[in-house]
Amino acid sequence: KVDPEILQKLTTKYVLLQKSDSKSLTKKYLTQELFEKLKEKKTKYNMTLLDCIATVLDNHDSSVGLYAPCPDSYDVFGDLFDIVIEDYHIGFPKSAVHPPMDWGEASDLQNIDPNGKYVISTRVRTARSLKDYPFNPGLSEEQYKEIETKVTCALCQLTGDLRGQYQPLYEMSDDEMNKLIDDHILFKGGDRFLESANAYRYWPNARGVFTNPPKTFIVWVNEEDHMRIISLQQGGDLAGVYKRLADAVKELDRRLEFCKHKRFGYLSMCPTNIGTGIRASVHIKLPKMSQNEAKLNEIAGRLNLQIRGTGGEHTESKGGVLDISNKRRLGVTEKEVIKEMFNGIQELIQLEEKS
């Protein structure tokens, strides 16, 4: 049974959310009727509806406002997750099943900005969680350390272009940390949406970053997800960036067991990052189109693209640099995700040239 104190907190804050002008998907879909149906449920790891929605209860300006504290939250609170997921991923009905992994051939892709006029850098990342563990809000300190050990052991076996070194966060000086964050290599802590979701317990313990010497292959350990696997480089060579990520994931897949769901593919803490988990982005300058922000957002939305600020999620654009990426990651294969992003960015570049 759910603790009466938790139930009280959940109910009080839910009433305030309902009265608020929150534009979050969670507010949109968590009707009173659904709230009543879900409020007394618990997962195998003893997680409640409060663990899933605390982020939006404390931050009405959330866009999604929902996190899975553990894998079976996707089923226990499925009535809420299903509709939020269907909305965010631009269509994924209850009957849909995520297709098997298919990276295709990187050689089918080209440079996304052959003349080097618009794109500053290109990054493709995915999220992976290890099988048989909860996500951040449910992890004990021992489990955090176990995950760190398993992941770094697998990473240290990589060879060639993927060979690198792991740096635990607690060993880094502030200067070193800030430089890596400014260079878009390291995650930044202190995100209030994750804080409210209980994702920062024991920080900075068992968190860290693995990088190869040129810092084109990066793995974040125990930040929002157990693993964020990242390929990043200057310029628009999407084929090269994508191939590096595909090779890395295939190598890691042989060494680690990842958490998969029968309908949603790879699972992660945020329902926006399930399925392929892929976010393929460019840092791009579109000086003419940026003058009309509302119109650019409208066009990006039509192309299934999402615009973020220069420092990533929940940041502002600086010096005219936008982060533009695919929005959906579920219901499509890896190669389809990358193609959708490639076509969308091509279209934006053409529109900029015509402006």
Kindly list the residues in this chain that would bind ligand CIR in the complex (CB under 6 A): 55, 62-65, 193, 270, 272, 313
Q: Say if CB 141 and CB 206 are below 8 A apart.
A: yes
128 makes contact with ligand ADP (CB under 6 A): no
329 binds ligand ADP (CB under 6 A): no
Q: Does 308 bind ligand ADP (CB under 6 A)?
A: yes
Please report how close the Cβ of residue 200 comes to ligand CIR at its closest, in angstroms: 14
Q: Which of 123, 128, 308, 328 is catalytic?
A: 308
Q: CA-CA distance, 251 to 255, in Å (whole number)?
A: 7
Q: In terms of CB distance, is 103 or 220 closer to ligand CIR?
A: 220
Give the contact letters, 278-307, x = binds to ligand ADP (CB under 6 A), - = no: -x-xxx------------------------
Tokens for 161?
Answer: 């272009």
The catalytically annotated residue of 26, 48, 70, 125 is 125
CB 256 within 8 A of CB 147: no
* Catalytic residue flag (residue 52): no
Verify whether residue 313 is a known catalytic residue.
yes
Q: In the chain, which ranges are continuous DSSP H helix?
A: 4-19, 25-29, 32-38, 49-58, 73-76, 78-88, 141-155, 174-182, 192-196, 238-253, 293-302, 334-354
Closest CA to 346 of 135, 145, 111, 104: 111
Please report whether residue 327 would count as binding ligand ADP according to CB under 6 A: no
d(CA 296, CA 110): 24
Q: Which stretch binds ligand ADP (CB under 6 A): 40-48, 119-127, 164-172, 343-351?
A: 119-127
Q: Tell whether residue 326 is a contact of ligand ADP (CB under 6 A).
A: no
CA dihedral (46, 50, 54, 58) positive or negative = negative
CB atoms within 10 A of CB 48: 23
Query: Which residues, including other chains, have CB under 8 Å from residue 149's CB and lie 6 or more apart?
Result: none
- Beta-strand ranges (E) seen in the chain are 119-128, 165-168, 208-211, 217-221, 227-234, 260-261, 265-266, 279-285, 305-308, 321-326
- How far apart are alpha carbons 114 and 238 in whole angstroms? 10
Tokens of 292: 């009309």
User: Helix crossing, 334-354 with 293-302: angle to 10°?
Assistant: 140
Of the residues 251, 313, 336, 347, only one is catalytic, namely 313
Q: Is 122 in the site for ligand ADP (CB under 6 A)?
A: yes
311 belongs to the binding site for ligand ADP (CB under 6 A): yes
Written as one letter, the residue type at 123 is: R
Say whether 125 is catalytic: yes
Binding mask 207-246 for ligand ADP (x = CB under 6 A): ---------------------x---x--------------
Q: Is 228 a catalytic residue?
A: yes
Nearest CB to ligand ADP, comparing residues 168 and 312: 312
201 tagged catalytic: no
Q: How far apart are the first and last CA of the chain?
A: 60
Residue nearest to ligand ADP (CB): 312
The least CB distance from residue 307 to ligand ADP, in Å, is: 11
Closest approach of Cβ 66 to ligand CIR, in Å?
7
Residue 22 interacts with which of ligand CIR, ligand ADP, none, CB < 5 to 8 Å by class: none
* Cα 325-327-330 angle, rounded to 5 deg: 125
Set 48, 259, 270, 329: catalytic member: 270
Q: Could you tell which of ligand CIR, ligand ADP, none binds residue 55, using a CB distance below 5 to 8 A set by kind?
A: ligand CIR
Q: Residues with catalytic annotation? A: 125, 224, 228, 270, 272, 279, 308, 313
Q: Give the interface with ligand ADP as residue ranges (CB under 6 A).
A: 121-123, 125, 184, 228, 232, 279, 281-283, 308, 311-313, 323
